[in-house]
Amino acid sequence: MLSKQGEQSKNRGSNPFAVILGSSPEIVVACNLAKRASRGDSTVLIIGETGVGKSVFAKAIHQASRRRGGPFVTVNCAAIPETLIESEFFGYVDGAFTGASRKGKPGKFELANGGTVFLDEIGDMSLTLQAKVLRVLQELVVERLGDTHEIPVDVRVIAATNKDLAKLMESGKFREDLYYRLNVISINIPPLRDRREDIPEFIEWFLRSLNKVCNTSVTCVHPAVMEAFMRYPWPGNLRELENAVEHALNLTDGDELRLEHIPPHIWQRAIENADKNDTACAKDLDDSLAKYERDLIIAALKATGNNRSKAARLLNISRSGLYKKLQKYAIPRDGTAKRLTE
């Protein structure tokens, strides 16, 4: 695994797609399609949940294309206020509105001239703006606010969304003509829960990068931690996995990530998701998860002076949930049980 990561780091400059990790069939299909898309200038629509890496794909396509020497301009359609979004997209001239700069300002399409503009969260764009973006795609010209002069632009558009655009079209919230203009090449990026076999590779990648950030030297991951990560559904996808690894690194003093280091809700969810028909090996890991949960409860009680309300808050569970676990693990009311890992 480390050798593959090292090879990816060396080849990142010559192969922009080396930053796309994973070998699951779903990600291989998506990556191969992205490579083909990079050969031309056709518009690309990247579809996937929040945190799956849509911007990573967009940047790789740009960097592998003939436009690699041009700018890559990102526009988050959901983050720009409605009152500013038109001037951000198309720019403005002197006197276009109160407070406008005397020098005017180029919009995102002008700034991306000769390169690529990445329209992230395209599904959040208003219908009025959709019509104007459609005109840019059709005629390759922009018109600044307050101006009647058309400015030709040479841009490639890559759009991304975490929403179902087909449903938005049915409800009249997304223009059908814009959808078909954008959806020339469609790339679906699967969520992490559908490509769990790639999780170990991502964990290793995050360890390599985050050890520097956290000033740690973790090189090992306890099997119970890996099992917890493999069972967790990761609603936040890669972004959540990265945050979980960084959280764990900040809590460890050694060279191994253990269950007490990772966010409690992850190993708690792993226990809930345990398959009762697993093999004996998986049962051993279930026992390990349960042991660590018991130890963490005892540690929380000790840290709070046996204050169960505070211990429950520390463990991020309800007070009633804590009582159930105290009974489940036969922990005395005074919290004096010994930790199994001591």
What pLDDT score does 9 carry?
Answer: 43
How many CA atoms lie within 13 Å of 230's alpha carbon, on the beta-carbon side?
17
pLDDT band of residue 301 (cuts 50, 70, 90) is: confident
Q: Are 59 and 69 in contact (CB under 8 A)?
A: no
Nearest to 254 by CA among 294, 225, 283, 280: 225
Tokens of 129: 């703006």
What pLDDT score does 282 carry?
Answer: 53
pLDDT of residue 78 exceeding 80, the answer is yes
CA dist 334 and 113 (Å) reads 69
Mean pLDDT computed over 231-236: 93
Distances (CA, A) of 161 to 22, 76, 120, 144, 183: 21, 10, 6, 26, 11
pLDDT of residue 284 exceeding 60, the answer is no
The partner residues of 106 in beta bridges, in order of sequence, read: 91
Sheet strands side by side (includes 116-120):
72-76, 116-120, 156-161, 44-47, 185-188
CA dist 83 and 42 (Å) reads 30
pLDDT of residue 29 exceeding 60, the answer is yes
What pLDDT score does 146 carry?
Answer: 78
CA dist 30 and 38 (Å) reads 12
Query: Which three-class secondary structure state does DSSP give residue 144?
Result: coil
pLDDT band of residue 258 (cuts 50, 70, 90) is: confident
Percent of the chain with pLDDT over 90: 55
Q: Please give the residue that has the higher pLDDT: either 74 or 271.
A: 74
pLDDT band of residue 333 (cuts 50, 70, 90) is: low
- Sign of the alpha-carbon dihedral angle for 49, 52, 55, 57: negative
Domains along the chain?
2-190 (3.40.50.300), 193-328 (1.10.8.60)
Residue 242 parent element (H or E): helix 237-251
What pLDDT score does 102 carry?
Answer: 65
CA dist 118 and 223 (Å) reads 40
Residue 226 parent element (H or E): helix 223-231
What pLDDT score does 6 carry?
Answer: 41
For 192-204, write each residue's pLDDT tens digit.
999 999 999 999 9
Percent of the chain with pLDDT over 70: 86
Nearest to 111 by CA among 151, 145, 139: 151
pLDDT of residue 21 exceeding 50, the answer is yes
pLDDT of residue 168 exceeding 90, the answer is yes
What pLDDT score does 103 carry?
Answer: 73
For 147-163, write each residue's pLDDT tens digit.
778 999 999 999 999 99
Average pLDDT across the chain, whole number: 85
pLDDT of residue 68 exceeding 50, the answer is yes
pLDDT of residue 34 exceeding 90, the answer is yes
pLDDT band of residue 277 (cuts 50, 70, 90) is: very low
pLDDT band of residue 334 (cuts 50, 70, 90) is: low
Query: For strand 91-92 and strand 105-106, is the pairing parallel, antiparallel, or unpaired?
Result: antiparallel
